[in-house]
Chain A
């Protein structure tokens, strides 16, 4: 599914190297977590994979189902099945949530050569999925993320994920700004979307999100590369001892 090989990335306007030879594979159906101290390059990884401007890949490769991600525009990556759940979802006043969602769904369908979803079908599907995610129908009528609480914004991201049905979901510090109840709701949403065909890369600072989203593999990232990978117990070790020993061990 997702394959990252020796990825080197620097900021476009600076010489600062952020990713320094990161390699990673996430097979179909698996949930991988990436943990690491601030500044280790976790968010940069999510942005580079999804095609945000401002970064320059100096070496390495990244592919999704064999398709070269780095050669694609952000919208092409989305249509190829990549989804990034933002740490801070953007507010877009004046654009209705439903309009945005339908535009996104049909744009992806069109790019993949599929038939666009009719207004009636879309409405039916979005209502069903919103209900399953405990999203108030009123929220769908409001402008994108405007006036939403932190929890509502994150649930809206999960709704988008549910509607777009991506193959690979990257979740960039989804737990930031969420209370325990909101985190559980978001985690429930993610768990509902788990399937043998869909993979997740969950970027998080804390182990607590992983209490609710059980990962198959946990990676520790520091200074732009993966320094250690292991099972869910690795997250517990970090929670207990911090990153100090791991960083020392990695040199």
Chain B
């Protein structure tokens, strides 16, 4: 147990005072081995204070209305057996990339690429944190702290407090290769927390890929700071049948004329929640966040929650939220998305769509789209739909001789196409589409 954790136990109970919540937080913190010292010390201490003040979320918290957070609160996750043989190789494995391998959250230097690259600096959080100063000190926990208003995000604070590892990337140019973070599992009990900090200097560009299998439970975070004219494209694709309990959060601060794009592909898992918190701080910037989710409850519960908060704090910025979920066998999908347009953020162009394709009557999609606008010259819209397969389209394909199972695969891919379109790179998009098709085809046969 670390010094910080000892302090946590002795601290006052959370505001609101429920001793049960305080006990749950104490129990959660008690088993953590927290990093010590380094440039993150102050941020971690702040995170602990925030966490003590807000406590862990409960099922009655408004922000967790559709997703029961208690499995994330448990001190130790239940072990998840490691499959002997994964049916697919990780995505993007043949790509020429700077590849960083993490096994149960621990960096594997022998398997990874050289961390140097033209136009970018890459450090590991665990190593850099030994030094007294680092560029990431100005960012670590900073965007997460800012993102705690107006909504409390305890698991994000927990992440800042507890992350033992992560990647610190500072981009000054336009690297020719993407950075590919690849997670692997070795232990059935792994409870992995990682925290990446990414800083793109003016005009810099980076494609960041994240794939692989994470632990029995995970808590991952990205804090991304984009300077003027920078472009960050983040694509995450976790493998099927793994990462049974997963919380992740992305905090992005987007300066003038910068572009932040993220795409998240998710298949299975027991309980998954991703929070995206994007803030425009400069004019003429762009942020697109998209997700494609395949949820099949055949082998156990599936619950996937995307919760997004986009703040337009500057003029002429464009935001897009495109979330598509395909659910079957009792799978449950959740989308909570908000566009906040601050006073003065004129000419805002904000759009949000969340759609679910229910392949049976047992599955469920819950959506809470929101707009809050304090400027008078904006174009903002949102929409949410839940539906079944289009019977006419299904018949059209079958009338051409396409077998029913295959026709359903094609229609599901068609449904997901809008989200996939947010992956600009044709090769990456094609690889993701191919993987989706393989998964869907395999499952159609089960």
Contacts and interface: CB of A to CB of B under 8 A. Distances in A.
A78 interface: yes
A53 B395 contact: yes
Contact of A107 (B393, B403, B411, B414): B403
Given A86-B396, A90-B392, A95-B410, A104 B402 contact: yes
A250 B178 CA distance: 75
B396 A94 contact: no
A94 B406 contact: no
A143 B410 CA distance: 11
B395 A74 contact: yes
Interface in A83-138: 83-84, 86, 89-90, 92-95, 100, 103-105, 107-108, 111
Contact of B391 (A51, A53, A89, A92): A53
A103 B402 contact: yes
A90 B393 contact: yes
Contacts of B397: 92, 100, 104
B400 A51 contact: no
Nearest to B395: A52
A218 to B, nearest CB: 25
Contacts of A104: 397, 400-402
Interface residues of B, number: 24
A90 B400 contact: no
Contacts of B410: 92, 95, 100, 103
A108 B396 contact: no
Nearest to A77: B399
A75 B403 contact: yes
B396 A78 contact: no
A104 B393 CA distance: 14
A94 B440 CA distance: 15
B400 A78 contact: yes
Interface in A152-169: 160, 164
A73 interface: yes
Given A92-B393, A93-B417, A94-B413, A79 B399 contact: no
A179 to B, nearest CB: 24
B435 interface: no
Nearest to A94: B417
Contacts of B401: 75, 78-79, 104-105, 107-108, 111, 164
Nearest to A86: B396
A199 interface: no
B192 interface: no
A227 to B, nearest CB: 28
- Quick one: which of A50, A92, A105 has the most chain B CB within 10 A? A92
B420 interface: yes
A94 B399 contact: no
B9 interface: no
Contacts of B396: 86, 89-90, 92
A73 B400 contact: no
A51 B411 contact: no
A6 B406 CA distance: 34
A51 B391 CA distance: 12
Contacts of B400: 78, 83, 100, 104, 160, 164
Contacts of A77: 399
Interface string A174-213: 0000000000000000000000000000000000000000
A74 B399 contact: yes
Contact of B402 (A51, A75, A89): A75
Interface of B: 390-393, 395-404, 406, 410-411, 413-418, 420
Given A75-B402, A108-B401, 16 more contacts: A51-B399, A73-B398, A75-B404, A86-B396, A89-B396, A90-B392, A92-B411, A94-B413, A94-B417, A95-B417, A104-B402, A107-B401, A107-B402, A143-B417, A160-B400, A164-B401
Interface of A: 50-53, 73-75, 77-79, 83-84, 86, 89-90, 92-95, 100, 103-105, 107-108, 111, 143, 160, 164
26 contacts: A51-B398, A52-B395, A52-B399, A73-B404, A74-B399, A75-B401, A75-B403, A75-B404, A78-B400, A79-B401, A83-B399, A89-B396, A90-B392, A92-B411, A93-B417, A94-B414, A95-B413, A100-B397, A103-B402, A103-B406, A103-B410, A104-B401, A107-B406, A108-B401, A143-B414, A164-B400
Enumerate the 7 nearest inter-chain pairs by beta-carbon distance, A residue then B residue, closest first.
Answer: A94-B417, A78-B401, A108-B401, A74-B398, A104-B400, A90-B396, A94-B414
